[in-house]
Structure 1
Amino acid sequence: MSHPRNVATMRSSPRCGAQTRNGEACRAPALRGRMRCRMHGGAWGSGAPCGNSNAVKHGYFTSEAIEERRFVRTVLEDAEDLLRRLPAASDTIRNPRESETGCTTPGTDSPLRT
């Protein structure tokens, strides 16, 4: 080549900067008006389409499902608090049939049913 090449504009152009497989930044020039090169998403048509249906939330993370799980959690916590505050049922309440007859079904704590 007998004539000098003008590479100053290419060297001064912004670089892509996307992380490559080896962990370094991509050194390819970014496309005009974009932040990435043609290989990392700067090309026309790259990226998600408008109104991406793949980004729709499925049932587990909808706001209704999250609110329902919160409600169930508070109901369970309230029930546990109530049970902790109640006295032990076996100490205070006795079965009247058991005290009358004194008979229980073998292998159980319940009275014999007749």
Structure 2
Amino acid sequence: MKSDGNPVSKAHAAPRCTAKSKRTGERCKGPAVKGWTVCRFHGARGGHGPGKANPAYKHGMRTREWEEMRKAINDLVRMKKDIEELISE
């Protein structure tokens, strides 16, 4: 596509959205958001961020940090039990 000063030419040259229609099976013809494979209508930059800014945040007991800490504690408890077994033999 030739760039003749038209501001819309960038949108025409942009990669297209990869979303497909359930009904017709045709691909969306909208321009994909930079860094994404879909357009803004099909989910690019959608959703909420993690943490207290998320409206579904209740108490933090299911956050990624909490889950990692719980797994680390469980690993330590398992190691303690293994060591106790070795000592008692």
What TM-score results when the alignment is normalised by the length of structure 1? 0.36
Instruction: Choose 1 or 2 for highest CA Rg.
Output: 1
What TM-score results when the alignment is normalised by the length of structure 2? 0.41
Larger RCO (CA under 8 A, 6+ residues apart):
2
